[in-house]
Amino acid sequence: MSHQKKYKNYRKHQGKYGPTAQLAVPVQEHLVLRVLQLAEARGAKAGKKTAQKALKGAAQDGVTLTGEQLEELYAAAQRSGAAAAVHAARKILQKNLAHDAPAPTGSIPEHVPMASVDPRQVPAPGYTPGAILASERSRGTQLQGKGQHVLHIRRLESLSPQMVRIVAGAPGLAGFRPSSKADQYVKMYYADPALGLEPPYDLKELRQVLPRQHMPRSRSYTIRWVDEAAEELAIDFVLHQDPGSAGAWAAAAQVGDTLVISAARGKFTPRRDAEYFLFAADEAGIPAISSALSQLPEGAQGVAFLEVAGVEGEFPIPHPAGIELRWLHRAGAAAGTTDLLPSALGEIPPPPRMTSVMAHAERSASKAMSEIVSQWGLEKKMVHISSYWTLRRKKVRR
């Protein structure tokens, strides 16, 4: 539906959504924010298309760019397109809505360089921290068990200086049902406590009234174990100090805090009848490997390569006696910057064809491991190598 039609429908039903609307901001101002959000998305898309067309012509002239250069160019085109669209939308809205209400305060100045306009950082006019949709509270019970499950932290267990296990529970696990896969994972939702948002979060409704930087965030995490009898589950978190990260949330978590998770999904479980088992992971993938190790038959044979910061990063992991745990230490190097895992795989002799391989690590390491394993001629259905995270590398400006 076009913006014009949406606005006409809004005007048609203005009486229905007028003074009685249970919104954190007036409907008119809510409409302004929504239009700006749409303008940003459409403008970014148009900017990238324009860049792609220009590159086609450049290619015919013999101009080539690296993947990194293309990524930077597309990002710049999207930012410029989004900024131009928001700037134009703001001017039109101020012009056409002037007879209904005063121009919203805190609006984007008319004469701002396009590259500096970031509508994601402009809160909805009238928005104040802690203000949420009243309807979100009433619909919370409808969301429980239908995409989000609200548990409460019962205890915290320090596994190492870099990892903490959070054990949370709820009656009936709040509708949560575990997956049968060894690498089962969920999305964990967390929000800034200062905003006063009550879980479960009606994300669709919140997007209408909250700036993007205030929306609840989500990150995927492996379920370490589920004890349905005790109505508890555990998630192991890698601790980070980056403000706003899930690791920072986990580092500050306390008993009694809420843990909001999605339904469980999973992709892989090592076959119990495999001749040999091979595992490899850094801290992000160790929880999934640990879960898989706990499900192996007692007579399983194999090896698990586990990369951590140093000897202090090691911690007990239950496993069959025939599985050797080999800890690989980065010795001061940052996570994602070493080739410890690929090198470890490259140094062992090719395993039997019926070997189960499960590896989870940073993208570059996972790609390198996949290339090594592909040369062994293993049964494809028994191999699962995936990227669990990507190292953000600083781009060198020239």
- Of 90-99, 158-167, 243-252, 365-374, least confident by mean pLDDT is 90-99
- Distance separating alpha carbons of residues 30 and 12, to the nearest angstrom: 16
Q: Which residue has the higher pLDDT, 63 or 323?
A: 323
Joined together, the tokens standing for residue 225 give 């174990």
User: In the block, which residue shows the tokens 């989500």?
Assistant: 218
Mean pLDDT of the chain: 80
What domains does the chain contain, in order, with CATH numbers? 3-121 (no CATH), 140-261 (2.40.30.10), 276-389 (3.40.50.80)
342 vs 75, 272, 364, 373, CA distance in Å?
31, 25, 10, 10
What integer pLDDT is reported at residue 280 of this predicted model? Answer: 98
- Of 52-61, 117-126, 148-157, 382-391, least confident by mean pLDDT is 117-126
Q: Which residue has the higher pLDDT, 168 or 195?
A: 168
Kind of pairing between the strands at 276-281 and 355-362: parallel
Residue type present at position 377: G
DSSP-assigned letters across all residues of 254-297: -TT-EEEE---B------TT-SEEEEEE-TTTHHHHHHHHHTS-
Joined together, the tokens standing for residue 139 give 């619909």
What integer pLDDT is reported at residue 193 of this predicted model? Answer: 87
- Distance separating alpha carbons of residues 359 and 288, to the nearest angstrom: 9
- Distance separating alpha carbons of residues 239 and 222, to the nearest angstrom: 15
Query: Is it the case that residue 42 has pLDDT exceeding 60?
Result: yes
Phi, psi of 385 (to 5 degrees): -125, 125
What integer pLDDT is reported at residue 77 of this predicted model? Answer: 80
With b for 16 or more beta-carbon neighbours within 10 A and e for fewer, the 192-201 pattern comes to: eeebebebbb
What's the predicted TM-score (pTM) here? Answer: 0.64
What integer pLDDT is reported at residue 25 of this predicted model? Answer: 41
Which helix (H) or strand (E) segment is 373 a member of? Answer: helix 363-373
Instruction: Please name the residue ranges forming H helices in 13-146.
Output: 27-60, 67-96, 134-138, 140-143
User: Among candidates 50, 54, 53, 40, which has minimal Cα distance to 77?
Assistant: 50
Give 69's contacts (C-beta < 8 A, 6+ positions apart). none
What integer pLDDT is reported at residue 349 of this predicted model? Answer: 96
Residue 370 CB neighbour total at 10 angstroms: 17
Query: Is it the case that residue 207 has pLDDT exceeding 50?
Result: yes
- Ordered strands of the 302-308 beta sheet: 323-329, 302-308, 276-281, 355-362, 383-389
What integer pLDDT is reported at residue 245 of this predicted model? Answer: 85
- Of 108-122, 149-163, 265-279, 305-319, least confident by mean pLDDT is 108-122
User: Among candidates 189, 187, 378, which has minimal Cα distance to 270?
Assistant: 378
